[in-house]
Amino acid sequence: MTEIARYRGETCETVQDWVTEEVALEIRINGAPFAITMRTPGDDFALVAGLLFAEEIIAGRDDVRAMGYGTEESDPERKNLVQVELSQAAREYVRKERYLPISASCGVCGKASLAGLGSSLTPLPPDSIAFSPALLYSLPPKLRAVQEVFQRTGGLHAAGLFDHDGNLLALKEDVGRHNAVDKVIGGKVMEGAVPLSNRILLVSGRVSFEIVQKAARAQIPVLCAVSAPSSLAVAMAQTIGMTLVGFLRGDGMNVYADAKRVFANAETKRA
């Protein structure tokens, strides 16, 4: 809580209000610095696992030998440091392929060239799964209803994972859009539940290339957002066969890629 001056028209009052917590998290791999990311504390191990999974440093939970906070119990910053011990195979990848620490939750950082963007992503299978528009319209209200911290602060992004019936399977909030996605996917990685086929990922903001990359890495076939996608996000979704939905609000949406998963069972019209 923090004290603020709240204005309504020409009237001002001093009140206590919630603000979103943002704290730096340092990640070390096998004792060496790897990344510093700004995040909302909570679900830190899922965040780290999701980030490492998205960056293809781990393929699953078996590549993580151990994960924990800083070892000095008396250090007040102990829980702002996550240390990861990797399997030998994952160690070799870091040693040979990663030249510099990456910045927060960035799927582009550390790549040798723009030509390498998305080059390792596996195309999604053209399965028969289809979602009605009505089901997709129902998802944003379900997400907002359980965003407890957002309701207090108005300052957090959210990512929600839904099954094919529209049931919410996981919700994570964070000050960073990418972090929220990493927390959702990372939690499933550590549960041994990837790939996430026949699932829908909904994010509360816009969709960038990095979010498409993270969803594709987990083999999520449908990615939805309440705001707009970038041009690179659309191009990548089209390339790998991902259904990409933007401006999912009320009873409307735009489908930017692979509309067959959405409209297979619905009447379509062309303008």
| 12 in active site | no
Q: Residue 5 corresponds to which tokens in the numbers above?
A: 């001056």
Listed in order, strand segments (DSSP E) in 45-192 are: 64-69, 81-86, 102-103, 157-162, 168-174
- Helix spans in 55-176 (H): 88-97, 133-137, 139-145, 148-153
Tell me which DSSP letter residue 232 carries. H
Token output for 84? 């990861």
Q: How far apart are CA 222 and CA 262, in angstroms?
A: 9
Extract the tokens encoding 167.
């049931």
Compute the distance between CA of residue 143 and CA of residue 2 in angstroms, rounded to an integer: 26
Strands 243-249 and 252-257: antiparallel
Are 254 and 231 within 8 A, CB to CB?
no
Quote the CA–CA distance of 254 and 17 in Å, as a whole number. 36
- Peptide linkage before 195 cis (omega within 30 of 0): yes
Which helix (DSSP H) or strand (DSSP E) does residue 48 occupy?
helix 44-54
Catalytic option among 12, 106, 109, 224 = 106
Kindly list the catalytic residues: 106
